[in-house]
Amino acid sequence: MTNRDIDMLTSEALGARLRELREQSGRSLRALSRELGISPSAVSQIERGAMRPSVSRLIAYVTALGVPLAAVFETGHEKPVEGPQGIAVRRSWEVAPILLGGGVTFRRLSPIQTPGVEFFESIYPPGAESNAHGRLLRHVGYEVGTVTEGELTIEFEREVVTLSVDDSITFPCDRPHSISNRSAAPAVATWLIVHP
């Protein structure tokens, strides 16, 4: 099996996982919608798979629930092989990526959830951005990113940074920011988010 043999996590599977996380948190659909500043109908559409969340909406969603982004990837289908002395292995073809609004794809790179750390890859097609709702993104943790293909632009309130292949950046996640691909080619980056 190769990584081309695994399908993207469907909108329905992503929605079901988000609903499961919301229910585990004890929040009602209406309470979460108030916290996110969107209608209960929009939350329902995301949870039913009728609407794919954008990057910013997904991160706001998991932040409101108090769970790491990595929790979204735990759908019950994963079977990482855990060996002796806590070594975990997951093959590339065993990880279903998530296609988000605007065509952005996220794929978890760590084989299992690791407390306090999230490690994932993002692919931004030309013109895609994390800030689909007109607001800069804020979340918990400290972010470290490296562009491995193409070019990404990170916009802060008073500063814009463009990263090319092998360029890296680090910043506190609570600093308002957005990420976009302003080039004509896809951009790929790896991200490490460290939580306090």
Residues forming CATH 1.10.260.40 domain(s) in the chain: 3-73
Pairwise CA distance, residues 60 & 41, whole Å:
17
Residues of the chain with CATH 2.60.120.10: 87-194
Q: What is the pTM of this model?
A: 0.80
Residue 5, SS3 per DSSP: helix
Q: Worst-scoring range by mean pLDDT, 5-9, 27-31, 55-59, 91-95? A: 5-9
**CA dist., res. 137 & res. 15, Å (int):** 21
At 120, the amino acid letter reads: F
**Region 59-76 average pLDDT:** 82
Asked if 145 and 191 count as a contact pair (C-beta separation under 8 A), the reply is yes
Pick 126 or 132 by higher pLDDT. Answer: 126
Looking at domain 3-73, its CATH architecture is: Orthogonal Bundle (1.10)
**CATH architecture of the domain covering 87-194:** Sandwich (2.60)
Distance between CA 123 and CA 3 in Å, rounded? 15
Measured in Å, how far apart are the chain's first and last C-alpha atoms?
A: 37
Q: Write down the pLDDT at residue 139.
A: 85
Angle at 56 between CA 55 and CA 57, to 5 degrees: 95
pLDDT band at 83; cut points 50, 70, 90: low
